[in-house]
Structure 1
Amino acid sequence: MTVPTDNRVRITVWSDYVCPFCYLQEPVLERIRAEYGERVEVERRAFELRPDPLPTLDPQGEYLRTTWDRAVYPMARQRGMTLRLPPVQPRSRNALEAAEFARDQGRFDEMHNALFRAFFEEGRDLNELDVLLDAGMSVGLDREQLRAALEEGRYTEKVLADERLAYELGVQAVPTMLVGRASDPLEAAEALSGAQPYEYVRAAVERALQGNRREKLRGTTFLPQLPTL
């Protein structure tokens, strides 16, 4: 039986495939989904950290190395994940569009995970077409159909629409999660910014199920604030 929207929680997540904290949040979200089943829906939306013409980060620079040493590697060990600092810092628009193609093919979750693994475990450049096509093939997508979708920019507007909505709601960093009842507007959701521990996300889900909210999105700061990019 499908759970009515009044009794279901929606977690809307803005993330980017070049953000390590977005990848580090995945085990928490999967645990929540496993625990709550149909009572929790995870809705994923795109957010480019550094769209053109903003400069990308220097993969050998002090900022990234310090961030990884102080935050990424310790959190990865804590969550039982293996990440390594990628040798490149690519644009992510094409990867986000590839994920949207996969969504239309019913393979979003698989592609979502494949893109994270390709970048943070294999160190592959997500701005290279062949890397995206390889990821797609690995999860059962048609290589040439994916190529055509990317070359034609078929999903560009979908990615841009997600980003416009993020800006309208005040989302400024990733990962950002809006946790609220599925029947309520996103503006009414509680905002969690950063790679949150399971206990914090679960508490937000419980508040939403009970109709309570600790923090609205508009006119407030995100609490609690944990690592983001």
Structure 2
Amino acid sequence: MTSPSLYIDVWSDFVCPFCYLQTPVLDQLRNAYGDAVEIRWHAFELRPEPTPLPDANSDAIIDTWEKSVYPLAAERGVTVRLPLVNPRSRKAFETAIFARESNRYDLVHRAIFKAYFEDGIDIGDTDALLDIAATCGIDPELLEESIAEGEFTDLVIEDEDFAKSIGVTGVPFAVLSRDGAPGEEPPAPIALRGAAPVQHFEAAVERLFPDGFPAG
């Protein structure tokens, strides 16, 4: 198995449509570089307690979807629908982290996004998350116990605290980095803000690997 040469750390929120619309771009990179790229997702709650939840049918949200979300979704070939609920996302993050323990993180991560943005499911509801996870092969009883005990709450908060320490104020936010050659300092990491197109990622890879990406 190829060791990773390129690391992409991505801070996102399950309730952010632009984070969902970043997944096909990251899929392109994974398809291009295979196991030589490691994509690491991190939590970033846009509306943690006690931040007020916005009205899902507000003019501002509808306007953003009409002018920005739907056009980008069409461009990237992703089906999305404006959800009728605006949930908190901490439990969803805890569910995804729980799934990592059984190597099902990617599967559950995608399923949560899809459930919210394609099916309009309230991903702030524990029962809904248990159903989503069960379809991905996760034991719902163990997951329910984990959520109830807040087993992974600290990991969510750690992700968010680190993001704030490096100046992340919105998502999606990606940081591309690489290890240095033996005896050499690695190049400085490169940050990409917003739902950046694949061309921006490719340009960052070229800057990190001026002599060409080792995976070819």
Could you list the per-position Cα deviations for residues 73-94 of structure 1 after superposition, in whole angstroms to 9, with x for gaps in the alignment?
Answer: 0000111111000000010000
Check the 8 A contact 1:178/1:186 in 2, yes or no.
Answer: no
Quote the Cα distance in structure 2 between the aligned partners of 1:41 and 1:96: 19
Quote the Cα distance in structure 2 between the aligned partners of 1:44 and 1:190: 16
Check the 8 A contact 1:111/1:139 in 2, yes or no.
Answer: yes
Q: Which amino acid aligns with 2:139?
A: D
TM-score of the pair, normalised by structure 2: 0.92
Q: Which amino acid aligns with 1:97?
A: E
Could you list the per-position Cα deviations for residues 10-46 of structure 1 after superposition, in whole angstroms to 9, with x for gaps in the alignment?
Answer: 1000001000000000000011011011221111110
Superposition pairs for residues 1-229 of structure 1, below 5 Å? Answer: 1-3=1-3, 8-182=5-179, 188-210=188-210
Q: What secondary structure does 2:18 align onto?
A: helix
User: Post-superposition shift, 1:205?
Assistant: 1.8
Q: Which amino acid aligns with 2:47?
A: R
Check the 8 A contact 1:17/1:95 in 2, yes or no.
Answer: yes
Q: Which amino acid aligns with 1:191?
A: A
Give the direction of change, closer, same or farther, for the CA distance of 1:187–1:43 in structure 2 (3 Å limit): farther
User: Post-superposition shift, 1:199?
Assistant: 1.0
Q: Which amino acid aligns with 1:180?
A: S
Q: What secondary structure does 2:174 align onto?
A: strand
Structure 2: gaps (5+ residues):
none
Q: What secondary structure does 1:110 align onto?
A: helix
**Sequence identity of aligned pairs in percent?**
46
Check the 8 A contact 1:181/1:208 in 2, yes or no.
Answer: yes
User: Post-superposition shift, 1:188?
Assistant: 3.3
Q: CA RMSD in A?
A: 2.0
TM-score of the pair, normalised by structure 1: 0.87
Q: Which amino acid aligns with 1:188?
A: A
Q: Which consecutive segments of 4 or more residues in structure 1 shift more than 3 A?
A: 182-188
Structure 1: gaps (5+ residues):
213-229
User: Post-superposition shift, 1:59?
Assistant: 0.3
Give the direction of change, closer, same or farther, for the CA distance of 1:81–1:152 in structure 2 (3 Å limit): same
Aligned residues: 209
Give the direction of change, closer, same or farther, for the CA distance of 1:189–1:207 in structure 2 (3 Å limit): same
Quote the Cα distance in structure 2 between the aligned partners of 1:175 and 1:141: 27
Check the 8 A contact 1:9/1:209 in 2, yes or no.
Answer: no
Q: Which amino acid aligns with 1:101?
A: F
Quote the Cα distance in structure 2 between the aligned partners of 1:37 and 1:151: 37
Q: Which amino acid aligns with 1:28?
A: V
